[in-house]
Amino acid sequence: MATPSHRRSLRKRRTLVVSAAVAAAGLGTSLLVMNANAEAVDLFHQTLAAKDGWASSGTGTTGGAKADAAHTFTVSTRAQLVKALGSASDTTPRIIKVKGTIDANTDDAGKKLTCADYASGTGYSLSAYLKAFDPASYGTSKLPSGTQETARAAAQGKQAKNIVFKVPANTSVVGVPGTKAGITGGMLQIQNVDNVVVRNLTFAATEDCFPQWDPTDGDDGNWNSNYDSVTLRGASHVWADHNTFTDAPHLDSANPKYYGREYQIHDGALDITKGSDLVTVSRNQFTNHDKTMLIGSSDTDSVGKLRVSIHHNVWKGIVQRAPLARIGQIHIYNNHYDVTTLNGYATQYSINSRAKAQVVAQNNYWTVPSGGKVAKLLSGDGTGSVAGSGNLVNGTATDVVAAYNAASSKDLKTTVNWTPTLTAELESSAKNLPTSLGSTTGAGVLK
């Protein structure tokens, strides 16, 4: 089956597709879509197609398509982006065109900011922090508290004020084609708002200067960081499409160890938590990252929400959480998972279903290197479900759930309590996904 067009509109009117040669190829990377009245729909006004995953449910996802000229912005600096976003409580439709790469770690004048700049005036220093909370003297039974922890939190707060961008409802944030559009070092926070589109952007190097030591996390403690590249918290009707997520240029292999544990400065790539709902994640590339996508922030996150569709994405050099799903109804289809170790990122698992999550994993393709174990492609806690069909491993039809259950003491359940219906983009075979998705996913493809 040819790869469906990427350039879509929710408009119910009959559409005419210009450029027959491209349409015949099924790639759609440089199309203009016109309705019957010959009204052109450009990249920045495009909306999610009908029945394209959970985000098309109900009112659908249109982002800022209705923005007027006064609320259409082109931005190329952090200060311009902040101004264009405006107040997170302003629901006026807006389109934000990102031209080039925006460095979040800059001040309003464009001057580069470093971790030392954020720490300045807080009293924090890493050496003092390490001395204060050395498990040999501080112990391992309680979280850090006291002067240096207070200073660390203050420094982290200064960084957050600079790099966290709060997205209002009815907003489209879209990269301008041909400009290497993206955000480096920053986080888009989509919180308690409805109807947001994020497309054609590269999110790179989202880093926490001030990870917190938690000696109670796991058997040996862990360093925990604070920022996702894109985070959904209580958000609804969100479409994340044709983006690229990466840790580059600072990869985890360059992280030092303190107290014998990796000093982790990266958190999630795209997390969907705290009762977020009706989300479609399509045609993105996730690469060079550890904890990639979390659906549900805890085992007690919102029942009846966390409905997410994940399709036609490429996952390569991902350690875990592709995704980790809790509670919700999640449809994962037509994705390509390459679990070959890349730049030190070695896969632990791809999909984790836990806390009674209801996952349908359909027509996905796994590329597994020689010696790789199919039983490690999935994970769970014994309460989550994965109903799988049409999945291929190295081109061969494989029951990945049965392979996991045969090797696990906590079986994944094999039936779910729902049937996906918003499946306009579903391809009936995964056979060609490694080839077709290689050139049609991620930032920089749309024109």
Residue 384 near residue 354 (C-beta atoms within 8 A)? yes
The yes-or-no answer on residue 78 being catalytic is: no
> Residue 332 corresponds to which tokens in the numbers above?
């994962």
3-state helix, strand, coil in the chain (%, to 5): 15, 30, 50
Q: Where are the beta strands (DSSP E) in 373-437?
A: 378-380, 385-389, 392-393, 396-397
Helices (H), 168-275: none
Residues in the chain: 447
228 secondary structure, DSSP code: -
- Please, which residues have CB within 8 angstroms of residue 145's CB and are 6 or more apart in sequence? none
Q: Rounded to the nearest 5 degrees, what angle is found at the Cα of 304, between the Cα atoms of 302 and 308?
A: 90
- Using DSSP's 3-state secondary structure scheme, residue 254 falls into helix
- Tokens 């491993």 locate to 393
Instruction: Give me the amino acid identity at 268.
Output: G
Token output for 245: 């997520």
Q: What is the dihedral of CA 125, 126, 127, 128, to 10 degrees?
A: 50
What distance in Å separates the CA atoms of residue 125 and residue 131, rounded to the nearest whole number? Answer: 10
Question: By the 8 A CB rule, do 325 and 352 touch?
Answer: yes
Pick the catalytic residue from 94, 261, 321, 326: 321
Query: DSSP string of 321-359?
Result: -SSEEESSEEEEES-EEE-S-BTTB--S-SEEEETT-EE
Alpha carbon distance 99, 106 (integer Å): 16
> Which SS3 state, helix, strand or coil, does residue 402 take?
helix
d(CA 65, CA 48): 11
SS3 185: coil
B/e letters for 12-50, b = 16+ CB within 10 Å, e = fewer, are: eeeeeeeeeebeeeebbbebebbeeeeeebebbbbbbbe
Output the six-digit token pair for 292.
């990639």
* In contact, 346 and 373? CB cutoff 8 Å: no
Which residues are part of the catalytic machinery?
321
